[in-house]
Amino acid sequence: MQGLERIVLAHPFFAGLGDKFGQAISGCARNLRFAAGDYLFREGEAANEFYLIRHGAVALEIHAPGRAPIVIASLGEGDILDASWLVPPYRWSFDARAIDLVRALGVDAKCLRDKCEADHDLGYELMKRFVGAMGERLRAARMQALDLYGKRG
Amino acid sequence: MNIASAIASTDCLVPQPLRIARIRRESADVSTFELAPASAFVFAAGQFNMLYAFGLGEVAISISGDPDRADRVTHTVRAVGAVSTALARLRRDMVIGVRGPFGSSWPLAESEGSDIVIVAGGLGLAPLRPAIYAVLARRKRYGRIVLLYGARGPSDILFRRELETWRRRLDVDIAVTVDHATADWRGNVGVVPALIGRAAFDPDHSVAMLCGPEIMMRFTIDALAERGMTAERIWLSMERNMKCAVGLCGHCQFGPAFVCRDGPVFRFDRIASWFKVREI
């Protein structure tokens, strides 16, 4: 097993994926490093790559005119970033900023989409994992929207 | 206190006047009041008092102070209703009427030898603070101690100085998260149940203590269950509108239980069947 494949399979998001799929994903992956304050991507940019955070923390931010950026979530080791690469128009809908030193795996989106088209077992396996992760994010976002700790909390 | 003894004793229905010795502002609408009792005030972590704003009415407020300090009665109050807003306007040396302590407590003795997982949301940290004091004062009796706390935003974080002090200890794992923040906040943004998956504790040998809005507790219980924690290891503090505080009036009825008398701290498996009943 090659180094990158080992790193891919060691990431919690890909736990139990198996060598065959691990090999396919690692063929599209590269190691990345972001210093504190670096942006992994900005809102509106093409989602050409998605990220598996191996170390450090990332703030997801939305900019609003005339006010400081609003942090909507923070992600850390073991998290993925994000699903915009999966569905058209393949554009990020928020900014992602490294809060501290971040080490991540970047996975080329088109490369992996093509492999998913060619191997639907891989595509289905990935889809199940991404839908699960996005479902968790959606539940969390709904809880945040409820403003539970506001006056009625 | 059972109903018969409550009826027999009028003491528990008569508020005692206690002077405000100190007020600490925790956030824009939350303050902590330290009251000076005339004699030793003994309570168990998790219990509550009825606080009387003279002329306006009473409100049930958990005791948020150190159970090892009998010379102070400490309450953390959020100005949210007529009575609590009136209480929040009081100043040092003014007087509050106090009845109590009432209700059940956190299972601190039964939890010795276990990991302790404390999960608080918003003002829910206040009823848990006495348990944190007690556990830390007897640190060697427990396994790992995890405190997970969620607040609305960075400026709403309660007991910030104490959280920072506890975090500096090397024997407590503390994670704080907020629902919303601006970019100058370097901490976590997200909901508190999402912290459960990463917390270091042994679900088979842990006791969880929860307090916060019921929605937050529901999702936290689900997250604990996903980690493999069983219902009898989970305790939570419930909130209901209380009037008499001694199980007489029924205002705080929760299924077959009265929150004032049988709670506010319940073992989850004992109320699980009622917890998701929408009508109560």
Considering only CB atoms, A99 lies closest to which of B151, B152, B186, namely B186
pLDDT tens digits, one per residue of A30-77: 999 999 999 999 999 999 999 999 999 999 999 888 888 999 999 999
- Nearest CA of chain A to the CA of B52: how many Å? 21
Chain A partners within 8 Å of B241 (Cβ): none
Residues in B closer than 8 angstroms to A78, CB to CB, are 198
Q: How far is A75 from chain B (nearest CA, A)?
A: 8
Average pLDDT, stretch A132-140?
92
- φ, ψ of residue A150 in degrees (nearest 5): -75, -165
B279 pLDDT higher than 60: yes
pLDDT at A153 over 50: no
For residue range B15-39, list pLDDT tens digits in order.
Answer: 999 999 999 999 989 999 999 999 9
Q: Check: CATH 2.60.120.620 for B115-275?
A: no
pTM of the model: 0.90
Chain A interface, best mutation among B27, B179, B185, B241, by max A CB count within 10 A: B179
Residue B8 has pLDDT above 60, yes or no: no
Average pLDDT of the residues in B154-181: 94
In Å, how far is B122's CA from the nearest CA of chain A? 5
Q: What are A78-99's pLDDT values in tens digits?
A: 999 989 999 999 999 999 999 9
What six digits make up the tokens of A121? 């077992």
Q: What average pLDDT does the segment A122-143 reach?
A: 94
Per-residue pLDDT at B257 exceeds 90:
no
Domain spans of chain B? 3-102, 115-275
Mean pLDDT of A9-21: 93
pLDDT of residue A67: 86
Cα gap B3→B12, rounded to integer Å: 11
User: Looking at the complex, does the CB of residue B154 fall below 8 Å from at least one CB of chain A?
Assistant: no
Q: Are B117 and B95 in contact (CB under 8 A)?
A: no
Tokens 């018969």 correspond to what residue? Answer: B4
The predicted structure's pLDDT at residue B244: 87
Q: Left, alpha or beta for A93 (phi > 0: left; psi -120 to 50: alpha)?
A: alpha
Q: Which CATH architecture has domain B3-102?
A: Beta Barrel (2.40)
The first and second tokens of residue A137, run together, are 């994010």
CA gap B223, B227 in Å, rounded = 6
Alpha carbon of residue B200 to chain centroid: 23
How many angstroms separate the CA atoms of A2 and A31, rounded? 13
The structure tokens 């902590």 sit at B32
Smallest Cα distance from A58 to chain B, Å = 9
Complex ipTM tops 0.90: no
Residues in B touching A146 (Cβ below 8 Å): 215
- Could you tell me which residues come within 8 angstroms of residue B243 by beta carbon, excluding any fewer than 6 positions away? B58, B249, B251, B252
Region class of B100: left (phi > 0), else alpha (psi between -120 and 50), else beta? left
Neighbours of A98 (CB within 10 A): 21
Q: How many helices (H) and strands (E) does chain B have?
A: 7, 16
Residues A153, B150: C-beta atoms closer than 8 Å: no
Q: Among A41, A42, A61, which residue's Cα sits nearest to residue A51? A: A41
Q: In this complex, is the C-beta atom of A19 within 8 Å of any C-beta atom belonging to chain B?
A: no
Q: Give me the percent of chain B exceeding a pLDDT of 70.
A: 96
Backbone Cα Rg of chain B: 18
Chain B positions in Cβ-Cβ contact with residue A147 (cut-off 8 Å): 152, 179
Alpha helices, DSSP H only, in chain B? 3-8, 82-88, 125-137, 160-168, 214-226, 259-262, 268-275
Q: In the predicted model, what is the mean pLDDT of residues B194-201?
A: 93
Query: Which two structure tokens, joined as six digits, stand for B280?
Result: 């109560």
Q: What is the pLDDT of residues B115-131, one digit of tens each?
A: 999 999 999 999 999 99
Q: Name the average pLDDT for chain B.
A: 92
Looking at the complex, does the CB of residue A151 fall below 8 Å from at least one CB of chain B? yes
Cα–Cα dist B49/B74, whole Å? 10
Q: Which CATH class is domain A3-146?
A: mainly beta
Q: Cβ(B83)–Cβ(A110) under 8 Å?
A: no
DSSP-based three-state secondary structure for B261: helix
pLDDT at position B9 is: 59
Return d(Cα B157, Cα B177) in angstroms, integer.
Answer: 9
d(CA B110, CA B120): 20
| pLDDT attached to residue B248 | 85
By three-state DSSP, how is residue B197 classified? helix
Residue type for A146, please? Answer: L
The answer to whether B75 and B22 are in contact (CB under 8 A) is no
Q: How confident is the model at residue B276 (pLDDT cuts 50, 70, 90)?
A: confident
Which pair of structure tokens corresponds to residue A108?
Answer: 């080329």
Going from N- to C-terminal start, the domains of chain A cover 3-146
CA–CA distance, B137 with B135 (Å, rounded to integer): 5
